[in-house]
Amino acid sequence: MLEEKIKQALNGIRPSLQADGGDVEFVSVAPDGTVSLRLTGACGSCPMKQMTLKMGVESSLKREVPEVTAVVGV
């Protein structure tokens, strides 16, 4: 159930990343609410990818899915 909520929220974020030639891939969610994601395409090799994960993806996920406590890149 939580995984589905996260995937749906990521679908809302995905168009912004795809506009820059990248994408986001769900990897897993831990029992404490930490979500592991992989940035792909242009986002995967971008020097600003940590900022994208924290300021963009994490803040959006926390707003949409309150059970999310953190987002980490893998």
Q: Which strands sit side by side in the sheet containing 34-41, from one edge to the other?
A: 22-29, 34-41, 70-73
Average pLDDT for the chain: 90
* Span 12-16, average pLDDT: 91
Pick the more confident residue, 15 or 42.
15
Say what the pLDDT of residue 9 is.
94
At the topology level, CATH places domain 2-66 in: GMP Synthetase; Chain A, domain 3 (3.30.300)
pLDDT tens digits along 24-60: 999 999 999 999 999 888 887 888 888 888 888 999 9
Domain segments of the chain as ranges = 2-66
Say what the pLDDT of residue 71 is.
94
pTM: 0.85
Q: CB under 8 Å to 66, separation ≥6 — which residues?
A: none
Interior/surface letters 14-45, b for 16+ CB within 10 angstroms, e for the rest: eeebeeeebbbeeeebeeebebebebeeebee
